[in-house]
Amino acid sequence: MTASVAAHGEETTNRKSYHISGGSLGQALSQFARDAGILFTGESTLTDGKTSKGLDGEYTVEEGFRKLLAGSGLTYTITDDNAVAIKVAESGSDAASTLPAVKVSGKAVYDANDPYNPDYNRTNASSATKTDTPIMETPVSIQVIPKAVMNDQQAVRVSDALRNVSGYFDTRGDEFFYDDAFLRGFNTSSRQYIDGMLDLGQSRSLANLERVEVVKGPSAALYGRLQPGGLINHVTKRPLDTPYYSVQQQFGSFDLYRTQVDATGPLTQDGALAYRLNMEYLDSNSYIDYVNKERAFVAPSLTWKISPSTKIDFDFRYHEVQGITNLGLPASGNRPANIPISRFSGEPSDHDNFTLYNGGVSLFHEFTEAWKLVAKFGFNHNVQQFDDTTIQSFNEITGDARRLYFHSQFTDESKQGMINITGNFDVLNTKHALSVGWDYYNRSGMGEGRLSFCQTCGTQTFPATLNIYNPVYNQSVINVALENPKPTFNEREEWYGFYIQDQMTFLDDWHLLYGARYDQANYTSSLASGLNLGGADDSEFSPRVGLLYRPIKELSIYGNYVKAFNGANTGLVVSESQREPEHSEEYEFGLKTEWFDNRLSANLAFYELTKSNVAQPHSNSLLATQGYRELVGEARSKGIEFDISGKLTDNWNLIGTYSLTDTEITKDRSGRQGNQFANVPKHAGSIWSRYEFTDFGWHGLWTGAGVFLAGQRQGDTANSFQLPGYARLDAALGYSFNIGKSKKMSLQFNVDNLLDKEYYTSGGSSGSRTGIRTGVPRTFLGSVRIEF
């Protein structure tokens, strides 16, 4: 097969400066193509095992190819249609193939994983189907937040990235220990996914993330037990064939210092072995009195290309977070208490520590061009220790907060594996992409706590009462060894699932997605004494079907239906009761569009989502006091979501959202029927825009600005108080320039909450009037980054 490099005649005579080190010929050609503004549309086996001396100096496109190909046994010719064809140099050889088609353009076209990629738009995502399917051909609502957006906004936490997704709402404020999230009204908790594998509940560093993919609605048809609002999948940076190094130092308000390192490249001359190392260290105080945080993160990864059809990835993560957690403030009347947002409700002696070790290995194998295998195995080991003082009850007249001291140690471990086989084939004028797979998950946890009564606080049975209007701290010192211990408890969670999915294309413009999954899940919880705290043994089918019609290239119309297995009901039920897991059911209809040669895309979705079999206290008050529950609750969310991202012009990027989320508790025995969900505004939206001043001759200079809005929200499920709506304005200014021949320096300055708006992110736990989290005040963040 012959392919070519398309080049406009005048482009081949322009000189540019190149600095490409020697090594693999394929890597050198890839870097040359990127620097020249050339897009490779495929891979060539013609360069396998060949090397190049590199390129250093000013060259035309023709001269660059001639220099790089010197001594390789390959040559190039200029064809009549101004194309550059690369082929075997031996006379009379037609063998072989040539390099795939590439195109010279005025602007460089970037690979999705290129470290220099500034684009906000992504046209493909794998999380919704476990295949690399164009978003325009997937009948599911998907949003992708690429690294470029995180960099421009100087995101520090996962929530900083997810705020660019419609229907997402934060629950943790400025906290660094967990990454909870609300999607389509439902709390997904902090159990999110990394590279398609379920992660333990934790916080996550952004240092090794390439992008975050969010699949809206229930995803049980492929992934098993999940809360129905959606799936959040963190896609990590992978080792690259081309060397790349980056060091970034950030500094900002409240004594924040954050250092990040990113290094990648080949370890062998032929590029068969490549590595990547990502590191982060963060140390910061807070706008909240006494609160501080420290985070250390190291993530090495290795890719071994055993053959052109087989490779193995090895990954490891070490993540440690420690500091003092802000557990929030109380409500007074129907609003948060009127106190400074800097007020701390705990004790300065509080301290939390979280340490995670994670490792994994992934095998990728192509049996043929059409059939592929992915197999993964991973493990997590998580150790948590918390020493916190938190508000248990609040006297709204006096301002006195009765507090509870809590000490806990918890160890969480998980092992998991998955096998996924995909194949592409044609049957009776229909095209099929078939996926079949199996996965297994095993988690065990053990913990103990000491809490409730303060034995070392003199005559008081609780830590000293704190008046939130006039706080006095350090009135009592807690001696953990003397506190009342709670019994050690054990948890065990084990499940496996089988799934099958087909993506069928017919009549060219129609795309049908259908599939189902079978899950078998077991959960047990008990005290060290053997006392059963509740458990579950469930099996369930989760079907999904979606249909998409693409009448023109720029428009897709889709709909889907999902019935899903959410999670086990793990509490105690009376023996004669029928135990069933939580279920969810969703109907969704939407439109997807792409403009300007796929540079700008948008998604508009209408949905109705119902969660059923929600556990509630037993109707028999005596049984309820003993912890027994009945599975009679139901909640519904319906709404509209709109997302847009990409380029309006070559120099103008934007990403925007809007959500209308109408929630209601439809069945409840606690007097909450008809109430709205806690922490979910009916109306919310955001828009962030970046503009580069290249057309004005100011190369490397850019500015960005954005606004994030949320309407009034209920603070708890009893709807006893409300969190006011807010509009937060952010801004950024950046400048990038070259240093010498091969280094790039980027200076950046961001201001979050430019107008210093006082606002609240969430109302704490769903049934509590305490634990209200505040939003950050005006915050400055500077950055210096060197890349080479």
Q: 104-148: per-residue pLDDT in tens?
A: 444 555 777 888 888 999 988 999 999 988 999 999 999 999 999
Token pair of 732 as six digits: 């950024």
Q: Looking at residue 389, what is its pLDDT?
A: 87
Q: Looking at residue 539, what is its pLDDT?
A: 83
Q: Which residue has the higher pLDDT, 476 or 81?
A: 476
Is residue 404 within 8 Å of residue 224, measured between CB atoms?
no
CA 11 to chain centre: 40
Q: Looking at residue 217, what is its pLDDT?
A: 94
- Pairing state of beta strands 256-266 and 273-285? antiparallel
Distance CA 251, CA 485 (A): 42
Q: Looking at residue 17, what is its pLDDT?
A: 67
What are 657's strand-pairing partners? 643, 686
Residue 342 clears pLDDT 90, i.e. is over it: yes
Distance CA 647, CA 650 (A): 7
Q: Looking at residue 102, what is its pLDDT?
A: 45
Q: Count CB neighbours of 737 within 10 A.
A: 12
Burial-class residue 739 by CB neighbours within 10 Å (0-12, 13-18, 19+): exposed
Distance CA 384, CA 412 (A): 8
Kindly report, residue by residue over 515-540, the tens digit of the pLDDT.
999 999 888 877 766 666 666 778 88
Q: Count CB neighbours of 435 within 10 A.
A: 20
Per CATH, the homologous superfamily of domain 124-236 is: TonB-dependent receptor, plug domain (2.170.130.10)
Backbone torsions φ then ψ of 309, nearest 5 degrees: -110, 0
Kindly indicate whether the domain formed by 5-104 is annotated with CATH number 3.55.50.30.
yes
pLDDT-derived band at 475 (thresholds 50, 70, 90) equals confident
What are 380's strand-pairing partners? 358, 414
Residue 708: its H or E element: strand 701-710
pLDDT-derived band at 14 (thresholds 50, 70, 90) equals low
Kindly report, residue by residue over 650-676, the tens digit of the pLDDT.
899 999 999 999 999 998 877 889 999
Kindly report, residue by residue over 577-600, the tens digit of the pLDDT.
556 778 899 999 999 999 988 899
Per CATH, the homologous superfamily of domain 244-787 is: TonB-dependent receptor, beta-barrel domain (2.40.170.20)
What are 271's strand-pairing partners? none
Kindly report, residue by residue over 390-446, the tens digit of the pLDDT.
888 899 999 998 888 777 888 889 999 999 999 999 999 999 999 999 999 998 887
Backbone torsions φ then ψ of 721, nearest 5 degrees: -150, 160
Q: Which residue has the tokens 């190392």?
A: 277
Segment 539-568 mean pLDDT: 92
Q: Which residue has the higher pLDDT, 101 or 322?
A: 322
Residue 449 clears pLDDT 80, i.e. is over it: no
Q: Which residue has the higher pLDDT, 602 or 111?
A: 602
Q: Which residue has the higher pLDDT, 21 or 241?
A: 241
Which has the minimum average pLDDT: 106-110, 675-679, 723-727? Answer: 106-110
Segment 549-576 mean pLDDT: 81
Is residue 634 within 8 Å of residue 572, measured between CB atoms?
no
Is residue 184 within 8 Å of residue 167, measured between CB atoms?
yes
Q: Which residue has the higher pLDDT, 485 or 335?
A: 335
What whole-number percentage of the chain has pLDDT above 90? Answer: 55
Distance CA 372, CA 45 (A): 19
Segment 709-723 mean pLDDT: 93
Residue 373 clears pLDDT 90, i.e. is over it: yes
Q: Looking at residue 487, what is its pLDDT?
A: 67
pLDDT-derived band at 575 (thresholds 50, 70, 90) equals low
pTM over cut 0.95:
no
What is the three-state SS of 172-202?
CCCCCCCCCCEECCEECCCCCEECCEECCCC
Is residue 138 within 8 Å of residue 513, measured between CB atoms?
yes
Q: Looking at residue 81, what is its pLDDT?
A: 45
CA distances from 329 to 391, 394, 467, 559 (A): 8, 10, 12, 43
Mean pLDDT of the chain: 85
Q: Looking at residue 733, what is its pLDDT?
A: 98
Q: Which residue has the tokens 């997590």?
A: 380
Q: Looking at residue 20, what is its pLDDT?
A: 77
Q: Where are the domains of the chain?
A: 5-104, 124-236, 244-787
Burial-class residue 477 by CB neighbours within 10 Å (0-12, 13-18, 19+): exposed
Residue 93 clears pLDDT 60, i.e. is over it: no
Compute the chain's Rg from CA coordinates: 28
Q: Looking at residue 91, what is its pLDDT?
A: 46
Sequence-distant (≥ 6) Cβ neighbours of residue 462 within 8 angstroms: 392, 402, 403, 404, 405, 453, 454
Backbone torsions φ then ψ of 28, nearest 5 degrees: -65, -40
Which has the minimum average pLDDT: 157-166, 171-180, 256-265, 468-477? Answer: 171-180
Q: Looking at residue 482, what is its pLDDT?
A: 67
Q: Looking at residue 535, what is its pLDDT?
A: 67
Distance CA 310, CA 240 (A): 16
Is residue 572 helix, strand or coil? strand
pLDDT-derived band at 178 (thresholds 50, 70, 90) equals confident
Segment 604-626 mean pLDDT: 78
Q: Looking at residue 670, what is its pLDDT?
A: 78
Query: Exposure string (b/e) for 632-663, b if CB count within 10 Å is 16 or more?
Result: ebbbbbbbbbbbbbbbeeeeebbbbbbbbbbb
Residue of 473, 209, 175, 199 whose CA lies nearest to 328: 175
CA distances from 342 to 146, 158, 285, 287 (A): 33, 23, 12, 6
